[in-house]
A and B are shown apart, each in its own frame.
Chain A
Amino acid sequence: MSNTEQSAHKVCWSCKGPVEASALFCETCNAIQAPGQLDHFTRFGLEKSFAVDVDAMEATYLKQQQLLHPDRFASKSGREQALSSQQAASLNEAFETLKNPVARAHYMLRQAGHEPEGGEGHTVNDPELLMEAMEMREALDDAADKSTIDAMIKDTRKQARACEKDLEVAFDGHSYDAAKKLATRLRYLMKMTEEARAKKSRLAAA
């Protein structure tokens, strides 16, 4: 990689020689290294864009887990086991963050220095969205059969897809205020889908 920002070296804990700061393994002695401060996109060799091909990313994720997972280090020294656990955990975090569109949007906002809404001390101040959410919740409360709920789930998912498209545009244009609002909307839509599913299984169990 010709990435200049990643070209710093550190000392390999095992052979004491130089190793690239972002390397997973020492190129000389092959010892597993501690996870550095790699950003999630770089980890998967992805462009910093909201549009992520989740399937392709998953393939990279699985390839990396094949190398880093603690099961690969079961007969190695305690230190190597601990490092592998850290590496696998940070790989999992990167994957889980980028896989979930809301988490991905929040991550990209923070990377750009913007705190997403709804976090600590950031109340959601979008009357239109709050009204919409309230209406959806009422409709869900009134829904009494599976097919009504299924239709609702289908509809919220469609809206979520559209919202993701808008987020893509917003991030591409560095419109972070718009992205913030859209991320909040997406979070609501996801939550509604979840609640609708929960209600569906409650209905099924009754």
Chain B
Amino acid sequence: MALLKIHEPGETPLPHEEERQIAVGIDLGTTNSVVAISNSEKPEVLRDKSGGNAIVPSVVYYGDDAPVVGEAARDQINSDASRVVSSVKRLMGRGLEDVKSVAGTLPYHVEVPENSETENGEPMMVRLNVGKRVLTPVEVSADILRSLRTRAEESLDQPVEKAVITVPAYFDDGARTATKDAAKLAGIEVLRLVNEPTAAALAYGLDNGAEGLYAVYDLGGGTFDISLLKMQKGVFQVKATGGDAALGGDDFDHAIAEHLLAERKDGGATDDLDASDAKRLLKAARTVKESLTDQDSIEVTVALTGTETKHTVTREQFDAMITKLVARTTAITEQVLDDADILPEDVKGVVLVGGSTRVPAVRKAVADLFEQEPLSDIDPDEVVALGAALQAEALTGGSDNLLLDVTPLSLGLETMGGIVEKVIDRNTPIPVAKAQEFTTYQDGQSAMMIHVVQGEREMVDQCRSLARFVLTGIPSMAAGAARIRVQFNVDADGLLTVSAREETTGTEQEVAVKPTYGINETDMATMLRDSMMHAREDMEMRVLTEARVEARRNILAVNAAMAADKALLTAEDETNINQAIGNLETAMAGEDRDAINDAAEALENASRPFAEARMDSRIRQALAGQNVDEVN
């Protein structure tokens, strides 16, 4: 007979070796991405094979062969710019309407589908024309993630299938889902989506054992986030968060590029830029920006449309170009402080995240606002990935740190007249479940449109539309008599599901809000089939693992019960149970999921008489302790 392992009640056994897979942290950035791993709360970034740079530019080159990611892709900008995609994160989860606002700033052609809606009336996702290919932002992100996964596997010399991926706190539901979809395409199971500022705080907090209130100012390539966190005893509690999903260092580059173009125009040049010119100009602008971090002025040569011009840009000029952009970040910061009812002087430390915080004018603005020098002893390009790695370790059972995050934006429903009724306010701790009741406005109304929106504005058309669905089968009633309960659930990843139910009859429609800008399941399946041969294998493996996890829990539970109520266990039950456990353990060692489930069911049957005896005994005990009068 197999030896039984009995755990003390209350002591959670560590996950079994085979499931204790390695999990990495990934910072999937607009401009750069980084992958890191943590062991014993010591995170480190993973470098390329030659032990060089930790930073992978989030740039993909779609040549004739397989996609190329990173530095090598960026080098193609000078020779084959039309097939290079960068800053794709700005398009994650975006519909065409949103893209129009950033259209001029994107260095590639964004395709406008002929029908802007699918057959179901859902808006179509943006597609990019890159060389001969038509790609969704999700696919491009998946290519970046695949490359990071390969880097991690080569560096760690073992398969990597799980990760914590960071997203801007301000990412809405559509962009979060798109990120998860991209990971799925890259064969990565997302343990958790963690907000970038929170991850950064985790990296700092553990290093310094910090306690108190901290602000994380995160200015990346394309996004700005500000978060306020309270740290205490290993718990990182996000108090408030805010930001702008379309504001970052890329905008600094554009400001410089515009300045250079204007100078050329003054000099008589007439530039009619194509996509490659624009990319080269932006590359030059970025060099200017980076040089001005340490230098007071920089000379740059711009060669476009056949004319070459020389320019000098001073730090002072650059500061003036970005004043408005920086002021936008400080205004948002003040708003968030107000939201949380916190004064700048209450903040114990300010953490800087994102490459754009290297810009001296940005540092100065932050220091002035908080009246203190911000912390920057962890590389601002690496800090998010390091935090993500720490969280990946915590999630796989390696540490006790806990992140308590909030919803970045309010969630609500469209009501009469296009007014938004908020169901969940921004900065509500997640996970959260909230319900609200609505009613019909016409006699005999048999259906109700449920339109889910995200945002702070009062009118529906000023908020982001997340999903629409129709609750049908409402019985004929007078206007205002039906009671329709709409339930919102936001999980720990910040993802929303909505269900609606007519209370008087129980008519129910449950809809996992697949944001309209995400990929639908059919597209996803096709993409998986096309791009990944191992998809099916992975899926089966996951189901098998889940069956094993469940079976192991089952055995532990029965063993714990036998240890606790030994007196109630008959010899016959004990034999049966132990035999069933033995069978289940044998099945678990195999690869047959059905066999495991069957053996698990057999164990349940074998232990039923014992479970019933335990219930009976407890009820008798409870009754024995009470007077007859009280038992009713």
Contact = CB atoms under 8 A, between A and B. Distances in A.
Interface of A: 7, 9, 11-12, 14-18, 25-31, 62, 65-66, 69-72, 74-80, 85-86, 88-90, 92-93, 95-96, 120, 197, 200-201, 204-205
A71 B403 contact: yes
A17 B615 contact: yes
Contacts of A26: 557
29 contacts: A11-B611, A14-B554, A15-B561, A16-B604, A16-B607, A16-B611, A17-B611, A28-B564, A29-B557, A29-B560, A30-B10, A30-B12, A31-B553, A62-B237, A66-B402, A69-B402, A70-B492, A71-B192, A71-B402, A75-B395, A75-B396, A89-B431, A92-B428, A93-B434, A95-B429, A96-B428, A120-B437, A197-B338, A204-B331
Given A30-B10, A76-B549, A9 B491 contact: no
B431 A70 contact: yes
Interface in B397-428: 397, 400, 402-404, 428
B546 A78 contact: yes
Contacts of B553: 14, 31, 76-77, 80
Nearest to B616: A18
B402 A65 contact: yes
Given A70-B431, A77-B549, A201-B331, A65 B404 contact: yes
A30 B560 contact: yes
B608 interface: yes
Interface string B584-614: 0000000000000000000010011001001
B402 A9 contact: no
B78 interface: no
Contacts, number: 137
A85 B494 CA distance: 12
Interface of B: 9-12, 15, 19-20, 191-192, 232-235, 237, 331, 334-335, 338, 391, 394-397, 400, 402-404, 428-434, 437, 489, 491-492, 546, 549-550, 553-554, 556-558, 560-561, 564-565, 604, 607-608, 611, 614-615, 618-619, 622
Contacts of A7: 622
A69 B611 contact: no
A145 B558 CA distance: 69
B432 A200 contact: no
A205 B558 CA distance: 63
B615 A74 contact: no
Contact of A75 (B19, B431, B565): B19
Across chains A and B, which 4 residue pairs bring their CB atoms closest together, nearest first?
Answer: A16-B611, A18-B618, A29-B557, A15-B557
A133 B352 CA distance: 42
B338 A200 contact: yes
B615 A93 contact: no
Contacts of A65: 235, 402, 404
Contacts of B615: 9, 11, 16-18
- For A9, A72, A77, the residue with the greatest tally of chain B CB atoms inside 10 Å of its CB is A77
Nearest to B397: A75
A74 B402 contact: no
A49 B237 CA distance: 26
A66 B237 CA distance: 11
B25 to A, nearest CB: 14
A28 B433 contact: no
A165 to B, nearest CB: 19
A29 B549 contact: no
A31 B89 CA distance: 40
- For B9, B191, B428, B492, the residue with the greatest tally of chain A CB atoms inside 10 Å of its CB is B492
A71 B395 contact: yes
A18 B394 contact: no
Contact of A77 (B396, B428, B550): B550
- For A15, A30, A78, A80, the residue with the greatest tally of chain B CB atoms inside 10 Å of its CB is A15
B238 to A, nearest CB: 12
Nearest to A9: B618
Contacts of B338: 197, 200-201
Given A11-B611, A30-B12, A62-B237, 19 more contacts: A7-B622, A9-B618, A9-B619, A16-B607, A16-B611, A17-B561, A25-B10, A29-B557, A29-B560, A31-B553, A62-B235, A66-B235, A71-B402, A74-B396, A75-B20, A77-B550, A92-B431, A93-B432, A200-B338
